Amino acid sequence: MITAKARAVDGPDKTFRAAEINRRDLDSFDVLIEIKYAGICHSDIHTAHGEWGPVNYPLVPGHEIAGIVTDVGPRVTKYKVGDRVGVGCMVDSCGKCENCRKGEEQYCLKGKVDTYAGVDKYGEPTQGGYSTHIVVTEDFVVSIPEKISLDVAAPLLCAGITTYSPLSHWGAGQGKRVAVVGMGGLGHMAVQIAHAMGAEVTVLSQTLGKKEDGLQFGADYYYATSEQETFTKLSGYFDLIINTVSAKIDIDAYFSLLTLDGTLVNVGAPAEPLSLNVMSLIGHRRSFAGSMIGGIRETQEMLNFCAKHNIVPKIEVISADQIDEAYKRVLVSDVKYRFVIDISTM
């Protein structure tokens, strides 16, 4: 067993504590990664607080992982010691079902293995990236391009792929009008990626407080959703809306912004159910969809795309002792735009 230092939480109302966790010995196709940086995702907070269902505590969150390969199993061919690599939201899948064979492991019909709060093929609970080391099968490790430093690479493993995947799938590009709801960790990535794809990009945020940032990230327009005239002015305008908000919103109001055959895609995952009026969809043959991260092949494609277009998240690096404070700040939107833990501070 490999002992790793970590930060763990023991319950939905508990604070993080220093911990030691065991990582499995390397199997034939396993890669040992020394984690350098781990991003803090809103999903970490939902899970740590038990908002998405029962959690097997103690829990070590973290699925935005960037680090260096320090050892490999005897049959590993994709990576070698010293490689710069990343791990995202999943660490395994069945590999045999129709979806896995298509490279859509995130939709594995037998259930993907989550990087944390999951159960691996050995029957052990998975623990995430708020730790010094992790062992992952090589097929679920991605290569980080040299142009992207490890600290800003970490959030790409969730925030980057979560927005890249629907933008790519629904054809954001030249001639498309794309709206991004929310200017947080996911939203500021969606703006940059959609802009690089060639779409006309509009940010829809509660206020104009982050307008200057949004325009610098590549948005063409920026509107406050707290102003009712926004919905009147933009009625029937967008081909695609990416909703990054992890909170309950008036979804029907946003449907009204879609053009004929337009699609609203939810990537934010609020704890509360959303309700909608089906007539909001029927009227203009609109669609309401969801999207979850991306497969490993697409995640590597996203990293290469970001390197080519110089797309990186805006981050605030914190120490391991600042995780609780960072969680509080995320909940009140007091971060521009992603917290990243310096794992050397473990």
- Mean pLDDT over all residues of the chain? 96
In the structure, what pLDDT confidence band is assigned to residue 269 with cuts at 50, 70 and 90?
A: confident
At 94-144, the pLDDT tens digits run 999 999 999 999 999 999 999 999 999 999 999 999 999 999 999 999 999
**pLDDT over threshold 80, residue 270:** no
pTM metric for this prediction: 0.94
Question: What is the spatial distance between Cα 254 and Cα 250, in angstroms, rounded to a whole number?
Answer: 7
In the structure, what pLDDT confidence band is assigned to residue 190 with cuts at 50, 70 and 90?
A: very high
Taking residues 154-174, what's their average pLDDT? 97
Backbone angles phi, psi at 137, to 5 degrees: -65, 145
What tokens appear for 36 in the block? 């350098």
70 CA to centre of own chain: 25
At 296-327, the pLDDT tens digits run 999 999 999 999 999 999 999 999 999 999 99
Question: What is the spatial distance between Cα 338 and Cα 109, in angstroms, rounded to a whole number?
Answer: 31
- What is the pLDDT at residue 248? 81
**pLDDT over threshold 90, residue 343:** yes
- Exposure on the CB side of residue 70, measured as CA atoms within 13 A: 12
Taking residues 157-171, what's their average pLDDT? 97
**pLDDT over threshold 80, residue 271:** no
Taking residues 71-93, what's their average pLDDT? 98
- What is the pLDDT at residue 333? 87
Taking residues 234-263, what's their average pLDDT? 94
What tokens appear for 203 in the block? 């940010």
Q: Is the dihedral of CA 157, 158, 160, 164 positive or negative?
A: positive
At 324-337, the pLDDT tens digits run 999 999 999 899 99
Backbone angles phi, psi at 178, to 5 degrees: -115, 130
